[in-house]
Amino acid sequence: MNPRILIAVHGYPPAAGGGAELRAARLATLLARRGLEMRAFAFGSHAAGPLRWDDADEDGIVVRRLYGDPAAGQDPFEASYDSQEIGRALQLALREWRPHLVYLFSGYLMSSSVVRAAHEAGIPVALNLTDYWWFCHRINLMLGDGSPCPAPSLAGCARCLAESRRRWRLPAAVWPAAARAFWAAAPRVRVLDRPLGIDRIRRRAEVLSQTIREVRALISPSRHLADFYARQGIDPGRLHVIRQGVQIEQRVPRVAAAELRFVFAGQVKAHKGIQTLLDAWSMLTGPRPRRLTIYGSAAGEEAFGARIRKRVADADDVEWPGVYGPGGVWQVLAEADAVVVPSLCLENSPNIVLEAQATGVPVVGSNHGGVAELVRHDHDGLLFPAGSAVGLARALQRLLDEPGLAPRLSRDGPPPRSTEAEVDETLRVLGRFLPG
C-alpha cells in the first residue's frame, strides 16, 4: 500500500499563486512522483451560503476546492480560527480518501478545525509554518499602524483587533500615550473583557494553543520562524527547520544591459515596504542609467495599490507591468541586476530571495526576520534598517556608484538548494507517520 498524504492549504494553483500555495502544490507533485498518493484540500473562493466543493485534477493531483462562506452560521472571528464548516467538509474528505497523514500549510482559512477533524479520525497531522497565524490573528505580526509587533500578548492582540474599527483607531491616533496606558491595564479589569473583545482574543489563544499541541511535527523553512514558535512555548523537539528548495532546472541565462536594473517582486501591499522603496528611489543621484520594475498584485488592498500606481506614474524610470509574464520569475531574474526586498513585516523565508541567489542576483533587503537570515551583508547582498528610506537609498546608491559591487555580490552567493533536497529532508520527518 502506497502512503497517502492529504495536503490542506488555503489556496491551490492555478487559482492561487502565493508562495505557500505554490510550495504546497510543488511538494504534492514531487511526492507523487516518488510513489506517494497525494490529494489536496484547499479553499477556492468566498460566496454566500454554506460550503460546497468540487474536485479537479491539477497536474495529476486531485484537488478539492471549497466555495462558500466558511463562517456560515458562526461568528466570523471565531470561524477565522475554528471554522465548523471547514471541519465538516474535511471530515467527509477524510472518510472518502482515508489518508495516512494530513499535512497542513499555515492554518489561515483552513483554521484549527482541520487539525481537530484529523485528530478525531485518528490521523496524524504535520504543520508547515509559513507565517505567524497561530499566534497572530493578522497573520503577519504587524500592528494596525504598520509597525512590527514586538511579541503577541493578550492586551496587544485585543487592541489590534479593536483598532481595526474606526471608533478605536482614531482615539489611539490622537492620544497614543493614553491609548497605550489604557490597553496595558484593560486585561486586569475583567468587566471590560466583553466590550473590548479581550474575551475573543483569550478564547482564540486557548483554542489554538490546545490544537497546536495535537500536531505531531512542525516544519519551518527558516530558523527565525522556528525560534518564534519556540518562544511561544512550542516544544523545540517537534520543530524542524527545512529550507525550501528552488526549481534550479528552470533558470534562464542572465542577460546584460547598459542600465542597472532593480526589481521588486511580491505583493504590492503596505507591509511589503513598497512605499519605502519608492521614497528611496526618489533620493538616488548620479548619471548612471537605472530602472526599477515592480512585479506583483495589489489584490485585496486596491486603494493602496491605486496610490502606488500614481506614485509610479509620477516617478522617473519606474514601471509596474503587473504580475510576471509568460517567462515567470526566472525570466524576470535573468533581466535583473538586483532584487529589492524592503519588507516592513518579519518575513519567513521569501522565495524571491532564494530564487535571486540561485540566479546570481544580489538582494538588497530589510535587516530583520528571515531576510536577514538569508542575506549576508556586503557578501552576497546588502541589508538596511527596515522601514528606512534613507538606509535603502544608501544601499541602492552604492550599487550605482560602485560598478564592481553587484558582480562581486553575485559571485559570492550561496549554492542553490534543489527542490529534491527539500523533499528528501521533508520525507525524513513525514515518513515517521507513514506506513512502511
C-alpha cell at 8: 490542506
Residue 341's domain is classified under what CATH number? 3.40.50.2000
Listed residue (75, 19, 7, 78) closest to 43, CA to CA:
7
Instruction: Specify if 143 maps to a domain.
Output: no
Do 357 and 414 form a contact (C-beta atoms < 8 A)?
yes
Instruction: Specify if 343 maps to a domain.
Output: yes
Tell if the pTM clears 0.75, that is, is over it.
yes
* pLDDT tens digits in sequence order for the chain, 436 residues long: 799 999 999 999 998 878 899 999 999 999 999 999 999 999 999 999 999 999 999 999 999 999 999 999 999 999 999 999 999 999 999 999 999 999 999 999 999 999 999 999 999 999 999 999 999 999 999 987 788 888 898 888 988 888 877 777 777 776 778 777 777 777 777 777 787 788 999 999 999 999 999 999 999 999 999 999 999 999 999 999 999 999 999 999 999 999 999 999 999 999 999 999 999 999 999 999 999 999 999 988 999 999 999 999 999 999 999 999 888 999 999 999 999 999 999 999 999 999 999 999 999 999 999 999 999 999 999 999 999 999 999 999 999 999 999 999 999 888 999 999 999 999 999 999 999 7
Q: Which domain holds residue 357?
A: 248-411
Instruction: Specify if 427 maps to a domain.
Output: yes
How many domains are there within the chain? 3
Residues 278 and 345 in one domain: yes
Longest dimension (CA), the chain: 67
Residues 290 and 326 in one domain: yes
CB proximity list for 154: less than 8 A, separation 6 or greater: 187, 198, 201, 202, 205
Q: How far is CA 277 from the centre of its chain?
A: 20
Residues 98 and 183 in one domain: no
Residues 173 and 302 in one domain: no
Residues 314 and 380 in one domain: yes
CA distance 408 to 406: 5
CB proximity list for 132: less than 8 A, separation 6 or greater: 139, 140, 141, 152, 225, 228, 346
Instruction: Specify if 403 maps to a domain.
Output: yes
Residues 167 and 229 in one domain: no
Residues 193 and 334 in one domain: no
**Alpha helix segments (H runs only) across 282-347:** 302-314, 328-334
